[in-house]
Structure 1
Amino acid sequence: MTHVQRSLLGAGLFLSVALLAGRLAGFGREVLLASSLGLSDQADIAIVLLTVPDLLVNLLLSGGIGVALVPALRAATAAQAGALFRQASLVIGAGFSVLGLLFACLPSFWLGLLAPGVTGANQWLDNWMVYVIAVAIPLSALSGVTTAALNAGDRFFVAGCGTLIFNLCVIGALALAMFKADGYLAWLCVGILLGAFLRWVSQWCGLQVGRVQVGEPHPGWLLDRNLARGFMAGLASASLLILVPVALRAGASWLGKGELAAFNYAIKLVELPLGILITTLATVAFPRLSEAHDRQDTEQFDGVLVSALQRSLVLSIAVVMCGWPFIDAVVALLFGAGRVSDEGQMHIAALAQIALLSVPWVGVAGLAAAALNARRQPGLVLRRTIVVMLLFPLLCIPGVWMNDPLLLMWSLPAFHAILALSLVAAVGARSLRPVLGKSCSILTCVLAMAGVVLAGVAVDVFWLKPAGALLIGPVVLWRVLLAGLVFAVAVAAGLYTFRSAKRSGE
């Protein structure tokens, strides 16, 4: 393993640990929602309230701020980096303060946009709750700037802990609401505001000992036209991608009461392995790709990209293989103790199985976009994303028209597959030739992982389920533990097979 590969893997591991904690806390948040509200109108409204800051954070973490600021901060001196950080915070904070004001003035418009099929959304909210969410909007935006600064200094763990802080605050508020058995949405709004504030403050404090020194002398205005153009292109392309699940949930709101919540729970189940294992590779690889491009080091650029793509394929295929047969156990374990019925759990599991098929495509698309952004081609990413995004409503129409939730969910993997193929074509064959030339090795790797998964499914069907009454604790817990073991062994087998094929080829 080369130094670049070890560095990429180590940084990805630290980021994965931080994101794992944050995502698990996010799951605790979803479990509390499901156990208290089930699949109901009020659950739909609660998810919409959480969507506002979640949408902004995801948009700014993976969107324009990261695309524009990370390369600029990476190449800047300490004085320039400090000034650029302050200027970006000022501009982004002011812009999203205006957006928060618009949300406070027109809450019905925004709630109707995010959940058009939910009627009477305002009846659940007092005015002060709307104002609280409005204040959380610029705070969430500022945390996007601090995250970009931390990522530019390779401090991925500190940046990744922001999600954990936010979700812990929301969990605490929801727990108080359950204890008091009153004002559930009110406590949720308080938790959202507190989480957004503490996330930003914690990351800002982390910068004091990081690479970006925010107290350096002011060297002049650094937000030039090129930086703004890169920010707008990256922000637009990322916003289109992040709006896909939001639009999908909005479409699901037309299919009946609780469908928005069901789609949300299914998508969150898929986002857990996606955010921890797959998209972290693009986050970690992007600063290194940018640095290699600036030095015109083609060999290192291609090496980082190929290494990340290989690991993304192994991990994502293992996620799909292991998730498909065991997702029902995960759903039962998380939502079985609350107000979600057995029928509702089966419905969430079926939706999640379909959504899982998007995982490999998201990984490939994310790394292809990172490569293009590192080459200072965010406009190309934007154009490709816009073209594919225009197809998304067409993919959703059959499911909404036929009132079929499963058919509607199929539009998610279809969209990501089309986008991934489009971005890969934009990257070009030269950078991807080492991956394309190892199709036999990839096939061997997939077969090795499939053998491990089939053995795990056999243990589940022929031993674990029949012996459920003899086990200590619920059988779904043992099935989830088995799924984790199968996944770990499958990934190890896949990576070992791939390395063996590489050594034999050399």
Structure 2
Amino acid sequence: MLRNYSLLFSLLIVNFSILLGRFSGFIREITIAELFGVSYNSDLAILLLTLPDILINLLVGGALSAAIMPLLAKESYKVSKVIICQLFFFFFFAFVAVSIILCLFNDEVIGLIAPGYKNEGDAISSLFLSSYFTIPFCVLTGVSTAYLQFNNKFIIPSLGTLIFNSTIILFLFFSDYYSVIGTLSIIYGLYLAVTFRYLSQLLVLDIWSGFKSIFKRWYIDSDFIRKYIQAMASGSIIFLLPVICRSVASNFSVGSVSLINYSMRLTEFIIVFSVSCISIVFFPKLTKSFRHSKTLFKDIAQFLLLLVLLISSTLSVCLYLNASEFVNVIFGSSLEKSDLDEVAELTSIGLLAVSFQSASLMVMSIFNAASKNKYPLIANLTGIIVLVITLYFYTPVDLIELMMSLLGVYILIFLIYMYLAISKLDFSFGFIFSLLLKCVSSVLIVILMNYIFNFSGISNYILQTFIPFIIIATVFLLLNKKKIKGMFSEKI
């Protein structure tokens, strides 16, 4: 019973912390919108702030947790400290080398991430160069996050985004107050944010005794590197999808990168709430259960997939039905009416893709927990190839067509993952059918309830959005109470 409450408490804490982080992300975007609007400078500010995260997701993604946790699960607590110290040493020097390589190929990086700004001169080039050396510290933060989460220490890692965004917001505020606001000040804020986030985790790490034995036996073997590369490739490929869309958007009119970024930030909120929080709390248990009992692993995996789909589908439909109000609540005071309308339209398309994204990411986590990293690679690589071919032969003329192309690819990836779940994870077709039926039923109930709770005003709009979700979530938990207790009370 205590284990159940511990998991529930951890889930609530992580949800609350990550939601604070996402809320701070909204405040960061609003701050940028207030300072720069939809302009050349706003595009540049967004690119500079997201560049390290883009590169980290491409080069690391969820690969660290996917590769590190199975390695830690095989060893004792004492040895795990040595492993983490070795990983600090290995990844720091590896990604310093990566940063140097990125500096050498700076023009090519700009051409890939923001081709519309490739010919903007030395000022843009120097700003991008300045941001690359934040990468090693971001990677070290990822290593410490994986270790802390493996040991059920969720609070500080889950506050990482809040610490990062709060630092950026405060730095932008003081830069504006002292009239020194500009793109260079964003670079200074970026380094401060990365440093504070990393230091916050160093303060709670208890691994320093591991440095005494760091070179006695090397645990980072070829099997770990192979799994890391597979997980990195699959994770980075699926992350490339929105990056490609931002890249294509930079070729449109000035401000297009800002518009598509604002809409993507809004939809990412649901993905974080439905997938990231659940994966953070349950991935260590999923990894351990695979070694302990394949039956227990399958039960937990199916339950988590159902939970993720229900959360993402109900929340996305609630927000889709009120997309204009949703966008207005976040950006109403910062953007022009025409820009708000376009962000709302883009967000509506993005919300249609959320359930497919969330389910795909959850199945990818399940495969990673089972150390079957090659199957997510197949699914995600297929999606990226289809998107590239689609954009090559059918060039979108505006952001709406671009988002529709992305939606189609997310649906394709979802279908591939469902096939792989049946063929490689032994999920039955009946389970997948039941899963989809429950989600469709919940969506229909949400639509009905949305019209029943047809309020007006911002505060009532928030109630109208979340009341259906809360009711469905409560009913789901009550109906599955015994199953949840049985799965998560078993000691591993």
TM-score, normalization by structure 2: 0.90
1:137 match: 135
Q: CA deviation at 1:352?
A: 0.7
Question: 1:23–1:397: structure 2 CA closer, same or farther, 3 Å change rule?
Answer: same
- Aligned pair 1:248/2:256, yes or no? no
Residue 59 of structure 2 corresponds to residue 54 of structure 1: no
2: CA distance, partners of 1:179 / 1:126: 27
- Following superposition of structure 1 onto structure 2, how do residues 194-343 of structure 1 map, counting pairs within 5 Å? 194-208=192-206, 214-215=210-211, 217-218=213-214, 219-295=216-292, 297-338=293-334, 340-343=335-338
Uncovered stretches (5+) of structure 1, i.e. residues with no partner: 465-477
Q: Does 1:482 align with 2:476?
A: no
Tell me, yes or no, if structure 1 residue 173 matches structure 2 residue 144: no
Measure how far apart 1:189 and its partner are: 0.3
Q: Is contact 2:324–2:341 with CA below 8 Å preserved after alignment?
A: yes
Q: Which moved more, 1:220-229 or 1:93-102?
A: 93-102
2:106/2:129 contact within 8 Å kept: no
Change (3 A) 1:504 1:48: closer
Shift of 1:503: 9.1
* Preserved contact between residue 24 and residue 165 of structure 2 (Cα < 8 Å): yes
Greater relative contact order (Cα 8 A, min sep 6): structure 1 or 2?
Answer: 2
- The reply on whether 1:25 has 2:24 as its aligned counterpart is yes
Return the alpha-carbon distance in structure 2 between the equivalents of residues 292 and 102 of structure 1.
Answer: 40
The match for 1:414 among 390, 408, 411 is 408
Aligned to 1:148: 146
- Residue 60 of structure 1: how far off its partner (Å): 6.6
> Residue 231 of structure 2 contacts residue 373 of structure 2 at CA under 8 Å; is this kept in 1?
yes
Please tell me the residue identity of whatever aligns with 1:322.
Answer: C
Equivalent positions of 1:354-433 (< 5 A) are 354-397=349-392, 401-428=395-422, 430-431=426-427, 433=430
Q: Taking structure 1 as reference, are residues 82 and 493 closer, same or farther at Cα in structure 2, changes over 3 Å only?
A: same
Distance in 1 separating the partners of 2:32 and 2:201: 27
Give a deviation string over 1:397-443, Cα, whole Å, max 9, x none.
577x2412101111222222211221221122633554534655444
Identity %: 23
How much has 1:88 moved relative to structure 2?
Answer: 1.3
What letter is aligned with 1:228? I
- 1:467 maps to none
- Does 2:180 match 1:185? no
Conservation of the 8 A alpha-carbon contact between 1:318 and 1:449? yes
> 1:136 is matched by which residue type in structure 2?
T
Distance 1:93 1:135 in 2: 11
Task: Report the alpha carbon displacement of residue 488 of structure 1 after superposing the two structures with TM.
Answer: 2.8
Q: How far 1:32 sits from its partner (Å)? A: 1.0
Deviation at 1:326, TM superposition (A): 2.3
After superposition, give the CA deviation of every residue in 1:147-168 in whole Å (9 maximum; x if it has no partner): 1111211222221111111111
Give, in whole Å, the separation in 2 of the partners of 1:103 and 1:392: 25
Separation (CA, whole Å) in 2 of partners of 1:373 and 1:504: 27
Map 1:55-70 onto structure 2 (within 5 A): 55-59=54-58, 62-70=61-69
Counterpart of 1:156, as a letter, is F
Q: Which residue of 1 aligns with 2:451?
A: 454
Change (3 A) 1:112 1:176: farther
- C-alpha root-mean-square deviation of aligned residues, in Å? 2.7
Aligned to 2:489: none
The 3 A distance-change label for structure 1 pair 397 and 60 is closer
Q: How far is 1:24 from its partner?
A: 1.1
- The more displaced of 115-124 and 183-192 is 115-124
Give 1:98 deviation, angstroms.
1.6
* 2-structure distance, mates of 1:345, 1:490: 26
Offset from partner CA, 1:53-111 (integer Å, 9 cap, x none)? 22244457742211100121233212321121111112211121122223334433322
- Partner deviation per Cα, 1:110-131 (whole Å, 9 max, x = no partner): 222211023544454484x455
Structure 2 CA distance for aligned equivalents of residues 398 and 108 of structure 1:
26
